[in-house]
Amino acid sequence: MKFTAINFSCPNCGAPQKFSPATDSMVCDFCGTSTPIKILNTPIKEYNFHNAMESLSMQIAYENSKKISCQKCGASFELDEDTLATSCPYCGTPAITDFTREITPKSLIPFRITREQAKEQFYKWTKSKWLAPKGFHLHLENNKNIQGYYLPYWTYDTQTTTQYQGMRGDVYYVTVTRSVMVNGRPTQQQVREPRIRWTPKNGTVRVDFDDVTIGATKSFSHIILDSIEPWDTTALVPFKQKYLSGFEAQEYTIALDNGFEFAKMKMDATIRHYIRRDIGGDQQQIIHTNTLYKNTTYKSILLPIWTTSFTWKNKEYHYAINGQTGKVSGEYPYSYIKIAMLVIIIIVALGVFGYLVEFDNIRQLTFTH
């Protein structure tokens, strides 16, 4: 499939303009001209999940790649089918393509964190990871590569009703006699020990969910994407291609129904919290649950993420920075020397604590006698 790249020219000099998170406008790198983006008053709509699933059953297959023609230099190049925005590899001009998926994003959250702010947040985050090798911090400081992405997300609203079977545990205490060693001699002492009384508990909890966000891409770790939440979806604005200029962007590669299965797992943790609260007592066991979902709606959106990766001792580590809040998440190596030192400190601390407790017991027995 052939596409002509979309880009936005500066009204002053004709050079390409890019979206700037610092000014929330289009800015020309060449002459500095700033052009505001007109915000539409279009409401952010929710769409019926079941109606969408019925229409998606007739969806045609995608092609494997997009053939792009750059408007500035005339070069042709190919992109993966899920790439929505990038830059021309020959002249660097922002290149935005048309959608190929049946569901297209109707809204997005623009970048609010600039590249420099993202680097600063990342630097602070790496300095807080004191269990990482020292050389790793130096490597990150010297590597300035960081890329902005608009990643596809699904949001889901739904009303849940969950029937559950469980057990309520109430703690009570009994007094027992124990033989303990004091000053090298066995001594009988009465101590109070906890017991748990378990009783069956069944019930129903109802929880409504609003804008459960699920990353709709296979290109990034969902563990990392979940770790940079939450997102303030009240900041969504109607979709405009101008926001993508100067950034990478992708279409979804995780389908709407598969995304909802991920959403169910995320919602399950919240539902179980309410079940435990409904069971009450000091401890709870959840034996069985059955959840029904109704009035389910969705949105297809794009969310801003700064990302980078590093190779350290033949292993690649990936990082993401929330482009709205600056929250950072990622993997990092551990220093075995630092971990060993931490273990030694803990063992010594526990030994000193145990000695002080034993010394206090002996002192109290001596004073009593």
**pLDDT tens per residue, range 118-177:** 988 888 887 776 656 665 655 555 556 789 999 999 999 999 999 999 999 999 999 988
CB burial of 298-321 (b: ≥16 within 10 Å; e: otherwise) equals bbbbbbbbbbbebebeeeebebbb
Q: pLDDT at position 196, please?
A: 95
Q: pLDDT at position 132, please?
A: 61
Q: pLDDT at position 271, please?
A: 98
Closest CA to 98 of 134, 56, 140, 62: 62
CA distance 361 to 369: 12
Q: Which amino acid is at 288?
A: H
Q: pLDDT at position 184, please?
A: 72
* Ranges of residues in the chain whose predicted pLDDT is under 50: 365, 367-369
**pLDDT tens per residue, range 275-290:** 999 999 999 999 999 9
Q: pLDDT at position 309, please?
A: 78
Q: pLDDT at position 343, please?
A: 66
Other residues' Cβ atoms within 10 Å of the Cβ of residue 346? 10
Q: Which amino acid is at 368?
A: T
Q: pLDDT at position 287, please?
A: 97
